[in-house]
Amino acid sequence: MSWTDERVEILKRMWGEGQSASVIAKELGGVTRNAVIGKVHRLGLSNRAGTTSAKAAPKKEAAKAEPKPKAAPAEPAKPVMETKSAEPPRATPPAVRKIIPAGQPLPPQPSANEISPEALARVNEVEKTAKKISLMELTEKTCKWPVGDPATEDFWFCGLGVQAGKPYCEAHVGVAFQPMSSRRDRRR
């Protein structure tokens, strides 16, 4: 679709009449609402000065004609007297939030998914004998357990043989996939 002089004249006329971009697009055919809006902006027609100023003028006159009621003067605040009840007030501990500066490590958080010491010991032993492979060396048959910080050069994957149907070796499967009952017990 190209903007011919005839189509531009129809656009200008309809826009001046206050028609919406959707209506103009339907009238022109083969053009979207957004295309009409874009052309209106390129032609400098976007402000519709005739329609908005005519509507705004009566509102200003109406506002001048109706006087606003004056607010009553504010009363001075009365002192509040404290009363003592038989029950002592409940002590609500304030919310303690410690602000940690950017770049500082976060303190350890308690977790419901803590790993058993036996599983950690087994993982530590396995990681000593791991193949320590890179991302490009991973296959279907290598353990994909990441070790270290990916932003450093010391980052690697375990690389040992995987357990059938799992992405990790036996030790890492023991850490990653836990039975439902043991997870429920830890939350209690």
Domain extent at residue 137: 117-187
pLDDT of residue 53: 45
Find where tokens 């409940």 sit: 90
Domain total of the chain: 2
Domain-embedded: residue 78: no
Q: What pLDDT tens digit does each residue of the chain (188 aa) get?
A: 688 999 999 999 999 999 999 999 999 988 999 999 999 998 888 776 555 444 444 555 555 555 555 555 556 666 655 555 566 556 555 555 667 777 777 766 655 556 677 777 888 888 888 889 999 999 999 999 999 898 888 899 999 999 889 999 988 888 887 766 655 555 55
pLDDT of residue 86: 60
Find where tokens 């030790």 sit: 171
3-state helix, strand, coil in the chain (%, to 5): 40, 5, 55
Domain-embedded: residue 92: no
Domain-embedded: residue 99: no
Of 173, 181, 178, give the one whose Cα is nearest residue 143: 173
Domain-embedded: residue 174: yes
Buried b (16+ CB within 10 A) or exposed e, 101-116: eeeeeeeeeeeeeeee
Domain-embedded: residue 79: no
Domain-embedded: residue 40: yes
Domain-embedded: residue 86: no
Domain-embedded: residue 37: yes
134: Cβ contacts below 8 Å, ≥ 6 apart: 156, 157
